[in-house]
Structure 1
């Protein structure tokens, strides 16, 4: 009883297995970066990252922790469907593990008060994901389970037709989110009730009833109103006027009170369409408002043609709805399952800064190509016309650096030969928690963690005399971490800490691992093999038969490989 867990949580096989991620550095590919200035408001420091998204998120964590306003992700749905660009058939435990690892870093990246997370998901994993998000973000951070009507025609192939998906919404600070979230603009269906029969110079308007329930009314809300025709009006029983008499008289002078066509109807307040800020978002998102799957496919076909097109993009109007609610111009948006680049394209058109991560080759064949068209202003589809996009801005294309360490021919870990001195210094800064900011005039200053704490990285073997010289230059009021190939003598200088590389970092990370995506050919975890062996032994001892289908109350209808999940992550593509 003493080992019983003390909190409610979702559990799965391998939940305690956690990757020891290497915080890689990012290398810009300037040939794929792109920019074009159209106006002074153009945004250029957007990032498109090609690489494993778990490693990419870890690479972003140091610089962007607490800085992302809105994160939207569209992860693999674990439906068993086969996609060319990524594997989507993940067992529940594997899927939960890969999502947990990513969600924890995403949570760290969100702004501590204003940040919100939006996740597209279908019925197959929605219930599991909801509980997992409750665990990672806290149940109190849940905002809504928005229902997107993805189809406009009936689905007749299933027992009950599948016509919707969910967009789960969580906020770091739900109360703050309620205060700062934006309203959604009115739809054409909502604006058609605004008319202008009298050619009012203020534009279309509609009459709004003046009465309200009298529960908390004041005496100033009970008075007689005489219409232009002489008719006298009082609030009906149980109701009051929604305006004080002083406010009513002010609006009447301004021509904002409407007594009907003949001037003898109960008074209404005139509300102009131009005054409508928008409507409080609700959880029903019909296809007329935010698009559907056919619309999104047409958008992709218009960009890239129908051959080898991305199978499951999201419509730009859906992403537009999310960013409208959650962000304002200049805010930073992240999508770590970028797919065909929809989130980045819409964010760019809406004047938001963005970071997109994609593993597949379509990071440059689809995403970069699409975003160049957006920057050029030559992509007329999606929300381009609705937001008045004309082009401009740019993005920087990055790839993940190789692992810092590699094995030599004798099996020893050494610094990778692909690393030059600058890359090594930046990588060690990130590993040790320093900001890489080399000083051209001070050779030993490669970065800092505070105003008085610095780092110096070199592959040289340092002598005691060299250490003494550096110590004197650093001075008594500052400290320096030295990461070097080796050093001679004792390092007993009070302002210096000396570490050997790679020895000092060997146990910190899983070096040399470039892929945390699903690999179905991976070896079954040891726990799975041992459990299978134990069950087989128990079966032989108790029943004398290896063909028994049920052991210890658990059904054994498939092999260990089929029944028990693997524990690598998966990010090979997304749904956009």
Structure 2
């Protein structure tokens, strides 16, 4: 398996073991709700926070979402995304040593990410998964890093999130319209995503024009372009019209015997007059309760950064709108990570979710 090497790696590979366990200190004036609800917001260096939470949640987390620094090299943000802050430099000096002073920003990013990902892996249940937001600056490095820590076979997918609703005409080369959400499972053989609830308009497509006792249905094409040795045969419509076979360059998806079986069971739709090209009936009562998650998330479905910025401005008073973090995640998008990775977003002792934001 290809591995990623960088300056300082040897110093951080086992650093998670050297981080001391710490006690979490309750701040009553900042607390809300029942003390035993199980919900926590931890302020501080996320490496120390993870080590403090590990004894309680190791092997119990079903879904982790993290939004690490993208390492864009932009030092003008409210959050310093250049991995060049005094805190990072001090940490590198302590952990990596004098060699850390000469690291480029990609080396520093990798040194920062490695021990945190190693700790996060220890939180996951066997049927858990982690979702990581990132962009092109560190996408390639992140994949290799997570292959090493979580295992190549546990890679699930890379989701493309359309983060803007219009192209950036000021772009130097191409308008960067998307971010990534990289998904890994603790054990890909055991993890299964939840289905996305079916939209009302999707359910509305199911009708019952022939009053089938099995209820509403929709129809699917019985023809395909893929070669199928048993997929060329004539069929006879209820009207008596003989259809010589599928269209030019097409094949029936099923054998002649299977077609006859489905027709006897009333699962072939020949049109209202019994004279159309046959289609396969799919009953609402027999399909899954939702839709299999896809790897393309459009802004119209899950929101975009401008929408998220507007949400922030409604909640927090800023001296200037320029002070708002420029790549927030819309509230209608982040729950998709949770809904897919956990059970309807429930936060239970056996169904723990962990969200790790940029806390360095």
TM over 0.5: yes
Instruction: Tell me the CA shift for residue 275 of structure 1.
Output: 5.0
Aligned partner of 1:296 in structure 2 is 308
Aligned partner of 1:249 in structure 2 is 264
Task: Determine if the alignment matches structure 1 residue 101 to structure 2 residue 111.
Answer: no
Instruction: Tell me the CA shift for residue 238 of structure 1.
Output: 5.1
Aligned partner of 1:162 in structure 2 is 176
- The structure with the largest alpha-carbon Rg is 1
- Unpaired runs of 5+ in structure 1? 1-6, 37-42, 334-351, 360-570
Alignment of 1:10-49 (within 5 A): 10-18=4-12, 19=15, 20-35=18-33, 44-49=37-42
Task: Determine if the alignment matches structure 1 residue 270 to structure 2 residue 281.
Answer: yes
Across the aligned residues of Structure 1 and Structure 2, the Cα RMSD in angstroms comes to 3.6
Alignment of 1:111-190 (within 5 A): 111=125, 113-159=126-172, 160-177=174-191, 180-186=192-198
- Unpaired runs of 5+ in structure 2? 84-104
Measured in 2, the distance between the counterparts of 1:357 and 1:116 equals: 14
Task: Determine if the alignment matches structure 1 residue 258 to structure 2 residue 269.
Answer: yes
How many matched pairs?
322
Measured in 2, the distance between the counterparts of 1:246 and 1:260 equals: 18
Instruction: Tell me the CA shift for residue 224 of structure 1.
Output: 8.1
CA contact (8 A) 1:70 1:332 kept: no
* Counterpart pick for 1:324 among 339, 342, 351: 339
CA, structure 1 residues 188+121, in 2 after alignment: closer, same or farther (shift >3 Å)? farther
Measured in 2, the distance between the counterparts of 1:172 and 1:243 equals: 40
CA, structure 1 residues 158+110, in 2 after alignment: closer, same or farther (shift >3 Å)? same
* Deviation by residue 1:525-563 (Cα, 9 ceiling, x = unmatched): xxxxxxxxxxxxxxxxxxxxxxxxxxxxxxxxxxxxxxx
TM (norm. structure 1) is 0.49
- SS of equivalent to 1:124: coil
- SS of equivalent to 1:165: strand
CA, structure 1 residues 52+215, in 2 after alignment: closer, same or farther (shift >3 Å)? same
CA contact (8 A) 1:76 1:88 kept: yes
CA, structure 1 residues 26+243, in 2 after alignment: closer, same or farther (shift >3 Å)? farther
Measured in 1, the distance between the counterparts of 2:193 and 2:229 equals: 28
Measured in 2, the distance between the counterparts of 1:267 and 1:129 equals: 48
TM (norm. structure 2) is 0.75
* Deviation by residue 1:463-496 (Cα, 9 ceiling, x = unmatched): xxxxxxxxxxxxxxxxxxxxxxxxxxxxxxxxxx
Measured in 2, the distance between the counterparts of 1:190 and 1:89 equals: 44
* Deviation by residue 1:222-261 (Cα, 9 ceiling, x = unmatched): 99865443445676495335846444323x2xxx542213
- SS of equivalent to 2:294: coil
Instruction: Tell me the CA shift for residue 100 of structure 1.
Output: 0.3
CA contact (8 A) 1:115 1:171 kept: yes
Instruction: Tell me the CA shift for residue 292 of structure 1.
Output: 1.2
Task: Determine if the alignment matches structure 1 residue 312 to structure 2 residue 312.
Answer: no
